[in-house]
Chain A
Amino acid sequence: MHSTRKLWAVLGLTMLVSFSILGFMGREIYLTKPPIPSEVRSAAGQVLFTGDQILTGQQVWQSIGGHQVGSIWGHGSYVAPDWTADWLHREAMAMLDARAGRLGAGGYDRLDAAGRAALRAELGVEMKSNTLDPDSLVVTVGQERAAAIRAVLSHYDSLFSAAPETATLREQYAIHDNPVPDPARRQALGAFIFWSAWAAVTNRPGDTVTYTSNWPAEPLVGNSPTSPTYMWTFVSIFLLLAGVGALVWYHAAIAGKEPAPEVPASDPLQNLALTPSMRASIKFFVLAVALFLAQVALGGITAHYAVEGQAFYGIELSQVLPYSLARTWHTQIGVLWIATAWLGTGLFIAPAVSGREPALQRFGVNFLFVALLVIVVGAFAGQWVSVMRQSMSLDTNFWFGHQGWEYVDLGRFWQAFLFVGLILWLVLVGRALWPALRAPGESRTLTGLLFLSVVAIGLFYGAGLMWGKATHLAMVEYWRWWVVHLWVEGFFEVFATAVIAFLFTRLGLVRTATAVSAVLFATVIFLSGGVLGTMHHLYWTGTPTAVLAFGSVFSALEVVPLAVIGFEAYGNYSHVTARPWVARYRWPILFFVAVAFWNLVGAGLFGFLINPPLALYYMQGLNTTPLHGHTALFGVYGMLGIGLMLFSLRLVPARGEWDDRLAARSFWALNGGLGLMALLSLAPVGLLQVKAAVEHGFWFARSPEFLHSDLIETLVWLRVPGDVLFALGAVLLALFFARLFLGRREAPVGAPAKEPSGA
């Protein structure tokens, strides 16, 4: 117990220090964020944009789906361009062409290499110099640049209307026709995109680095990686290797020192009595599987839009379900079904652990279920109205429509509602666990740690309420990643480790004392890297260089525990054969083994691929991101959700048949499909894009010339085998559920399981 107490102290101290630094950096980001000019004027005094237009434009961009239509500062989706890079490139080209024209060349491309280099050098100096007046906040641009800005603005005005001259481009970008019918809103949208590009090319006052640390790569204006981008990359790789070495040493030192547990002769959970609230929480699992199927279908549609921008195999789908909505719902449902599976598991196991059914527990469970349904239906309806009708005011859109921030796109009203729902979940799980939390003994620590991760998951969603409808982009990104990163790379990891260890101790497969110190140790390691690792998402979002330093170093440390997760995976797998009765749990346990596998491959390897500053400088917003996203989010947390549901359902005497063979097929189809999706399509497309970004600038890697080239389109089509296999796995899982709940009655409850198959 003594070492446990020490570990708790270390954990507390780590949290205190990490959150102090993260909070302090939030203040730094606030103080050094790119200013929003009060006006942008030409040298002749004509007003091009006002500050109000820029902020309104941000809201317009949010209302059409924001991050779900192209990206800004590299954050968002991947079929339409990165608007920052696209604007910057178009503005630079317009100026270069004008200047080449003055030299009599007829166009920049007609000049020889020396002539082009001279024009580029001149342009870089002009565009990078900061003309913002610190008192009046007025930005003044030369007449030639003003003309270039007007030209790009009119291109954007056409692109977001129904104009026929940009119809092909809209089709290639997977944007439906006339996404912003109001011309005034289109002008504001242009102002916002201009501002994002202005911040990306303008040096900070008295500095030689732009507000976005020279991101994106753009040879025309001389945007290239800064020296801290190189230096912290080297430091982070060094620290990763040092961390892995230290952890391997630690494992070698403790391996085999712990006595193996005496595994019980029969299943300790066999005769578990089901309380009314436990029965009520089973419907969460059914909802989770239904949502999972919907997510897979929407994923197929979203992927298809990469080759046929406004249609699905010839059907004009974009008139009712355009790319932006399909992707919004695909990402949103991904989080929702996994959350539903976990919520259900929490509600299911809490009374089982404490052996007590608190008053009104079933009412609470049913209430939460209805509230979740209302949130899903209400929020999605609001998003549809927002994107398709554009009929709401921008204020109403913020509250009930589409917020446009990836993974937290729900309107604020629904977001607040979801937060209340998560708090209700905490209360329900907490009160059911309370007796177990108070009972003395070793298992209390494990229950406590599990409950703490539950508390953190609930409360940290609150960070998503920290921005308002017109908050500065840099600050929204800061708070948005509090939710997305701290959830996914912090507390979800803790929950995953704690819940799996917890279930194994309940089955008697792991000694409680061993599990307690292992889980606490893992928590310290995960969170010491995870909390400050948040900043690796913020390298290019208008932040100071210190963000780059903290983000790169600590996110490298995040990978350390994932690199040695094989120890855990092997340990888990070996449980299957510990006693004959454990075979009952074979498939839930194998899903837990898959969690470890994808933690290594999807989170660790593909995560680190895009993690160091120099890598992310070129890879931000390319297919290397969904490569990490799919393999980590589904690979780790999706697999965990399925494993937890299967485990819980194994304890329920079902009406139908527990079909091990179906579970096995689903398992292999999901894993194989995910692997094929990653290796046949996402990885090669991503890496070819990186090459394109390094050679020609970031804009090119996301341009239609490149994305609709034969090679890339072929590679996108190569998603089909993997995606089909994956979808088959999802259908088989649904079939498994259907058999379990609707099929013929199984042999008497408690009878030995059927011979396990597959493997």
Chain B
Amino acid sequence: MQYFAAHHAHVAFVATSIVLFVLRGGLMLADSPALRRPVLRVLPHVVDTMLLASALWLVSVLHLPFFQTPWLVAKVLGLLAYIGLGSIALRRGRSRQARAAAFVLALFTVSWIVSVAVLHHPAGFLGLVARG
């Protein structure tokens, strides 16, 4: 029962987080001042914190040993890349082109993370090139 709750919460926060990221990316591309509205500055951090909490909850419910679970390691590494790319896309990128490229790469990364989670395989959809 607890697993279903944790899993459900995790997936819901993932979806919300991605929607918010896409929204902010779109606003960034449109050079919209809406990007700086307080709700869009605070809400993502709240959602991402809940997302992280739900992930830890899920891992503890499942008793997943981190170093024995390759796909989990892959997800965490992917997450680090996603955070880096996301911060270039929304904040650090020096030119608009660079921000746009980082945004596209971040979307690619996050869809890969989702595929790793769904397939429970460390290569995710890249399994086509990387055998294991």
Contacts and interface: CB of A to CB of B under 8 A. Distances in A.
A399 B129 contact: no
A695 interface: no
B67 A416 contact: no
Contacts of B74: 399-400, 413
Interface stretch (B3-11, B40-48, B50-58, B95-103): B95-103
A396 B73 contact: yes
B129 A419 contact: yes
A399 B73 contact: yes
Contacts of B30: none
Contacts of B93: 363
A478 B64 CA distance: 36
Contacts of A344: none
A385 B73 CA distance: 13
Chain B's interface: helix, strand, loop or mixed, by majority?
helix
Given A413-B74, A416-B126, A467 B68 contact: no
B131 A378 contact: no
B70 A465 contact: no
Nearest to B66: A396
Contact of B97 (A360, A370, A391, A413): A360
- Tell me if A's interface is mostly helix, strand, loop or mixed: helix
Contacts of A468: 131-132
B77 interface: yes
Contact of A398 (B84, B126, B132): B132
Interface in A359-396: 359-360, 362-364, 367, 370, 374, 378, 385, 391-393, 395-396
B131 A467 contact: yes
Nearest to B68: A393
Contacts of B73: 396, 399-400, 413
Contacts of B70: 393, 395-396, 398-400
B48 to A, nearest CB: 21
Interface string A447-472: 00000000000000010011111000
A543 interface: no
A363 B93 CA distance: 9
A412 interface: yes
A415 interface: yes
A146 to B, nearest CB: 34
A378 B84 CA distance: 15
Contact of B130 (A364, A370, A391, A465): A465
In the complex, which range does the number of interface residues on chain A fall in?
20 to 34
Greatest chain B CB density within 10 A among A364, A370, A413, A462 is at A413
A465 B68 contact: no
Contacts of B67: 385, 391-393, 396
A466 B131 contact: yes
Contacts of A359: 97
B123 interface: yes
Interface string B67-86: 11110011001000100100
Contacts of A462: 129
Contacts of A400: 70, 73-74, 122
A360 B77 CA distance: 25
Contacts of B129: 416, 419, 462, 465
A363 B95 contact: yes
B39 to A, nearest CB: 30
Nearest to B129: A465
Interface of B: 65, 67-70, 73-74, 77, 81, 84, 93, 95, 97-98, 101-102, 105, 122-123, 126, 129-132
Interface of A: 359-360, 362-364, 367, 370, 374, 378, 385, 391-393, 395-396, 398-400, 412-413, 415-416, 419, 462, 465-469
25 contacts: A359-B97, A362-B98, A363-B95, A363-B102, A392-B68, A393-B68, A395-B70, A396-B68, A396-B69, A398-B70, A399-B70, A399-B132, A400-B73, A412-B122, A412-B130, A413-B74, A413-B77, A413-B122, A413-B130, A416-B123, A419-B129, A419-B130, A465-B129, A467-B131, A468-B132
Instruction: Please list the 5 inter-chain residue pairs (A to B) with the smallest Cβ-Cβ separation, ordered nearest first.
Output: A393-B68, A416-B130, A363-B98, A399-B70, A396-B70
